Chain A
Amino acid sequence: MPSSSPMSPARRRFLTDTARMAGGCAVAGLGLAYITSDARALPAEALRPPGALPEDDFLSACIRCGLCVRDCPYDTLKLAELGMDGPATGTPFFTAREIACEMCEDIPCVAACPTGALDKSLTNIDDAKMGTAVLVDQENCLNFLGLRCDVCYRVCPVIDEAITLEVRHNDRSGHHAIFAPTVAADRCTGCGICEKSCVLPEAAIKVLPIRLARATSADHYRKGWEEQAEKGGPVLDGIIDLPDRLPGPGTDNLAAPGGYEPAFKLPGAGQ
C-alpha cells in the first residue's frame, strides 16, 4: 500500500495502539482515583500527629515514611496497616484510648517529618490541635453523677485551662454539688490523655476530630454583651432604656422573690 493512502497500516497501528493504551490508562487512572478518594475518609477515632496539615493537604504531603512513628518516644504513633486500620494505608495516626499523645515539649514527630506534612510552624505543643475533647456522655460520667472522680481533669496536661471543673447544684440529692468537667476547646490540644484515663469501661470523654466536635459561629451574629463590655456602655448612643422585666421588687414578676441588679445603669435612666 502506498504511504500516501488515507490510512497506511503503520499509521493505523500507531493510532490503534495509542487509543488502546490511552483507554487502558484512563480505566487504571479512574480505579486509582477511586481508591485514593476512598482512602481520604479518616475515621473519627483516628487522630493525626500534632501539627498535621488538614487531611486533604496531609495526603498530598505525607510520603508515609514512618519517621514520625520512629521518633515518637511513647510509641503513640502507628502507621495504618492495610485492611486493619481505618486511615489511608501507611499514614501515621494514634488512637487516644490505646496510647495517648504525651505532648513532648520538643515535638520530635514534627521535627522528624521530612516533607512538612507535620507543620514545623508548630513550636509550642500547647498550640497543637489534634482534635478536641468532648464529654460525650454526661449520663455515665461519674462527676455528672455527683461523684468526685475528676480523673480527666487531673490528668489533663493543660489542667485548669483545657479542662475545668464547673460547680453546679446537684438536683438529685438537693444539697450536694456537681463538679462538671468542662472542656475549653480553644485550649484543648486533643492529646487524648483524658480519654485514655477515663475510668469507665468506655470513656465518657472522647477526643473527636475538630470537624465533628465543634460548631462554627455564624459571622452575622454579634455578641452585644462583649461589645458593651469593651466599650463600657451601650453600643448605640442615645438609646432609650426600657425597664428590664427582671424578677424581684419593683417589677411585676411576683413569682420569684429577690431579683437581680441590672448589669449596668444608663445615666439618667429611671426605673
Chain B
Amino acid sequence: MAAPRCIARGLGRLSCVSTPLSSTTTRLTHAVWWSSRILPACTRTFATTPARLHGHVTPPKPGEELHVTFIDKDARTHKIAVSKGDNLLDVAQANDLEMEGACGGSCACSTCHVIVTDQDFYDRMPEPEDDENDMLDLAFGLTETSRLGCQVTMTKELDGLVVKLPSMTRNLQASDFKS
C-alpha cells in the first residue's frame, strides 16, 4: 500500500509538464529524488507554476485553478495552481518544496507544519481535530495560525491562501556557532 504513494511522490519531484507513461523514447533513470539530485532544489521566485501532472495531486482544469502560495525558509515565494481537494503536503511535495511528511500524511507527526499568514484564511478552514492539534502541540515554532499541511484541503474559499514553512533550524544555524 505504501509503495504507490512513495513512487508517486518521487514522480512528483520531477519538473515535468507532461509525458505519457507509455512512451518508450524517453526512458532515463531519472524519477526519484536521488536520481534527479544533479541540481540543488530547483525553485522559482514569484512565478506561477502549473501543478505537476505527476504525484497524487490532481492537475487543475483550465479555469478551475485555485492558487496557494508557499513562503519557504529562505523567504522565497512559490505560487502554485492546484485543484480543489488537494492537500498542502501533497502540493508541496509535488512541487519540490522542503516539506517532509514523515508519517506519510497520516496526522501522526508534525513535519508538515505550515503557518497560515492571514487570520482570515485560517478562520475559513474547518477547525483542526484533536489529533491534529495534538501533533501541532509538539511542532517547532507553533503559532496561533499553525496547521498541518496534510490536513488542509484546498477549497474555493481558500483560493489565494498563503502559508509559511516554519524555519525549524533557526536556533541551530552554523553561523550561530561561529564567533
Pairing of A with B: no
